Amino acid sequence: MPALLKNHIAVITGAGSGIGRAIAVGYAHEGAQVLVLDINGETAAKTAADIRAGSGKAQHFTLDVTDRAACRATAAKVATEVGQVSILVNNAGINRRNAFTADPDAVVKDWQDIMAINLNGVFNVTHAFLGALRATKGRIVNIASIQSFMHVRTPNSPAYTSAKHGVLGFTRALAAELGKDGVRVNAIGPGLIETPLNAQVRANNPELVKIFLDHTPLGRAGKPEDIAGPAIFLASDLSAYVTGTIVMADGGYRTI
């Protein structure tokens, strides 16, 4: 099979680690020119260097997705220095674990930070690259969650669940509006994927992880690489008639 993403320029936010990094590597393997964006410039540079070492095309940009002006500036720089972006993966995200009834200052900070990154960040980056995506009949892939549908008590902040519901709503709204421009907008709903995002909660709550995996038909946690395949599918012409939907990559968690 020919490279599925040849002649595409793909931006992936939060690609210095975990799921974003795996998607960046997968996209490069399929022939895309990959732009690795992360608030952590060092890890972003490492992802891009590792891709280049494997003969892929990649470069990195340091970007905080909460900074709307910086998102616009990065999009302008990419347009001038690299070209027109045709694939955007909104992946950057954080989680915190305080319950709503925890220390009020912590709860307020969690709400602000999680919304700023996990939901407003998706808006900021998408808005910044909108011109390029419309011009190229591009593809947007938003990293949502099983928490786009439900709350999971691993423990988890209510802000995370709220933001991920918002990401799915944003996906549907943009798919409806941008379909006439040939832009496809979809989401991926990962289940429990072993990344630094949840390393601590997995280590501290083995009994909750067991409950989670007992509810997962495939009986295991996912690896970041498990998300790369669905992300390639949604960015490529294999999904030419797919928009406004969410592809669950959760080992079947939401099925039972």
Mark the segment that binds ligand NAD (CB under 6 A) among 15-23, 26-34, 170-178, 236-244.
15-23
Q: How many CA atoms lie within 13 A of 221 on its CB side?
A: 15
| Residue 94 touches ligand NAD, criterion: CB under 6 A | yes
Is 253 labeled as catalytic in the residue annotation?
no
Letters for 26-45 (x = contact with ligand NAD by CB under 6 A, - = none) are ------------xxx--x--
| Single residue of 23, 24, 27, 93 touching ligand NAD by CB under 6 A | 93
| Single residue of 87, 143, 187, 231 touching ligand NAD by CB under 6 A | 143
Mark the segment that binds ligand NAD (CB under 6 A) among 62-70, 151-159, 169-177, 205-213.
62-70
Mark the segment that binds ligand NAD (CB under 6 A) among 27-35, 58-66, 103-111, 169-177.
58-66
CB of residue 15 to ligand NAD, shortest distance in Å = 7
C-beta of 135 vs 197, nearer to ligand NAD: 197
| Single residue of 192, 228, 231, 248 touching ligand NAD by CB under 6 A | 192
Distances (CA, A) of 198 to 183, 184, 205: 33, 30, 10
Tell me the C-alpha distance between 134 and 224, whole Å: 29
Chain positions 207 to 236 lying near ligand NAD, rule: CB under 6 A, are none
Q: How many CB atoms lie within 10 A of CB 70?
A: 17
Tell me the C-alpha distance between 227 and 244, whole Å: 18
Pair 147, 97: CB distance under 8 Å? no
| Residue 190 touches ligand NAD, criterion: CB under 6 A | yes
| Residue 166 touches ligand NAD, criterion: CB under 6 A | no
Pair 82, 9: CB distance under 8 Å? yes
Q: Phi, psi at residue 99, to the nearest 5°?
A: -70, 165
| Residue 203 touches ligand NAD, criterion: CB under 6 A | no
CB of residue 160 to ligand NAD, shortest distance in Å = 7
Letters for 63-82 (x = contact with ligand NAD by CB under 6 A, - = none) are xxxx----------------
CB of residue 37 to ligand NAD, shortest distance in Å = 7
Q: Report cis status (omega within 30 of 0) of the bond before 104.
A: no
Active site residues: 160
Residues found near ligand NAD in the complex (CB under 6 A): 13-14, 16-20, 38-40, 43, 63-66, 91-94, 117, 121, 143, 145, 190, 192-193, 195-198
